Amino acid sequence: IIGHTDRFRCAASQRSISNWVSKSNTTDIGYYFNKDQIGTDAWTDHDKIWWHSPLKYADRCKTPTLFIHSDEDYRCWLAEGLQMYYALKYFGVEARMCVFKGENHELSRSGKPLHRIRRLKEITQWFQQHLKD
Walking along the chain (133 residues) 10 residues at a time, the average pLDDT comes out as 95 96 85 88 91 97 98 95 98 99 97 98 98 87
- 30 within a domain of the structure (yes/no): no
Q: What is the pLDDT of residue 28?
A: 85
CATH number at residue 111: 3.40.50.1820
Q: What is the pLDDT of residue 26?
A: 86
Find out whether 61 and 2 touch, Cβ atoms under 8 Å.
Answer: yes
Q: What is the pLDDT of residue 63?
A: 98
Q: What is the pLDDT of residue 48?
A: 95
> CA 91, CA 2: separation in Å to the nearest integer?
13
Task: Provide the domain count of the chain.
Answer: 1
Q: What is the pLDDT of residue 99?
A: 99
- 93 within a domain of the structure (yes/no): yes
- 90 within a domain of the structure (yes/no): yes
**E strands of the chain, at which residues?**
11-14, 65-70, 95-100
- List the domain range (segments joined by +) for residue 82: 11-18+53-130
- 25 within a domain of the structure (yes/no): no
